[in-house]
DNA sequence: GCTGAAACAGTTTGTTG
DNA sequence: CAACAAACTGTTTCAGC
């Protein structure tokens, strides 16, 4: 991974439809070497996939709720069970195991508070949760799928 | 938006490189009408863009931190200022205005705790924040850019 | 409004400097 | 390694149903 790879990734994180020839032009490479670099980063799994990003409001999931869960079950089996349950809910778009006060945190997207309540009831019917608290977002000020590349390890082999 | 549109979006949210002909085959449509539907959803802004999704660990941002901010400044001007500051930090990938206890919540991605500390110092040097608390994620169990389509309004004009 | 085919653009591969 | 060009694959447009 060198500076050119980073530039390529920056461009692809913004717009994955950009022709390889144009990417090449922008990073100072012709089509073939640029294409090979992209190919390699896909093989290496640096680029995981290319996806379409939708407008949440336009598909009627304009409300985000952060759900914090505390539990007494601090074991691997329970975590797997919980993960499996969450996997079945497409409205849970992010799910983290936390350190500190809260044990798990998830981001849930729904149309409105009513739909959140329905989700909540369905969730607690599927798994026994000790302590759940919900925080509603009044607005999404920033959301990006683009990761910062400032920390990426630059190997820059020979030059 | 009808059931076919939803199927198309489901496929494109998973893999935006799929040829239109193949999408058509999967939803029971030939290339042209399928292409027109996709085109229309892009014009309408339902599909916002197509992006490359990277592996966080492979670009050295394997650690997620949720940062909660409470403030006394409950006015629009301050919010704009705060937003503008946050926009400058690529490590902040999500930023929400919250209801309840916490006023703002952001998700920050960094390589390690040291980098988080550097981020934190830089942040508080740019804007005066009353009460900041950080919660570290020990692991990302689920992360998807795919929104649930179960809530999307089905218009289904004539049929 | 769909199908099928033709025209076009972009990708992918191979040959050469 | 990069450039160039040929072959291929997918996209976009258009005529006919």
pLDDT at A159: 33
Structure confidence at residue A156 as a pLDDT band (50, 70, 90): low
Q: What is the dihedral of CA A16, A20, A21, A22, to 10 degrees?
A: 20
| Contacts of B124-129 spanning 24+ positions with Cβ under 8 A | B126/B85, B126/B88, B127/B81, B127/B82, B127/B85, B129/B69, B129/B71
Question: For residue B50, which residues of chain A lie inside 8 Å, CB to CB?
Answer: 15-17, 50-53
Encode pLDDT of B5-59 as tens digits. Answer: 999 999 999 999 999 999 999 999 999 999 999 999 999 999 999 999 999 999 9
Strand C close to B121 by CB, under 7 A: no
pLDDT beyond 50 at A12: yes
Stronger pLDDT, A88 or B72, i.e. the higher one: A88
Q: Which two tokens stand for residue B129?
A: 């924040």
CA–C1' nearest nucleotide, residue B28: C2
Mean pLDDT for B78-82 is 96
pTM listed for this prediction: 0.94
Please judge whether A135 and B50 are an interchain contact, meaning their C-beta atoms are less than 8 angstroms apart: no
| Residue in B with minimal Cα distance to A41 | B54
pLDDT at A105: 98
Closest CA to B129 of B101, B99, B95, B103: B103
Strand partners, B50: A52
> Could you give the CA distance from residue B146 to residue B144 in angstroms, rounded to a whole number?
5
Structure confidence at residue B159 as a pLDDT band (50, 70, 90): very low
CA–C1' nearest nucleotide, residue B37: C1
Strand C close to A29 by CB, under 7 A: no
Q: How far is the CA of B32 from the C1' of C6 (A)?
A: 14
Q: How far is the CA of A36 from the C1' of C14 (A)?
A: 14
Residues B135, A99 contacting (CB under 8 angstroms): yes
pLDDT at A157: 43
């Amino acid at each position: 991974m060198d500076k050119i790879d980073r530039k390529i990734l920056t461009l692809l994180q913004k717009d994955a439809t950009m022709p390889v020839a144009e990417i090449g032009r922008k990073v100072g490479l012709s089509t073939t070497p640029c294409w090979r670099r992209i190919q390699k980063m896909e093989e290496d799994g640096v680029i995981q996939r290319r996806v379409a990003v939708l407008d949440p409001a336009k598909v009627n999931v304009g409300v985000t709720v952060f759900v914090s869960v505390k539990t007494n079950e601090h074991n691997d089996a329970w975590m797997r069970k919980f993960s499996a349950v969450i996997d079945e809910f497409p409205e849970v778009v992010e799910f983290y195991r936390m350190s500190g006060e809260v044990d798990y945190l998830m981001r849930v997207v729904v149309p409105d508070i009513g739909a959140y309540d329905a989700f909540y009831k369905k969730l607690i019917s599927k798994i026994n949760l000790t302590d759940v608290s919900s925080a509603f977002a009044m607005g999404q000020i920033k959301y990006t799928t683009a990761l910062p590349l400032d920390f990426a390890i630059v190997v820059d082999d020979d030059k």
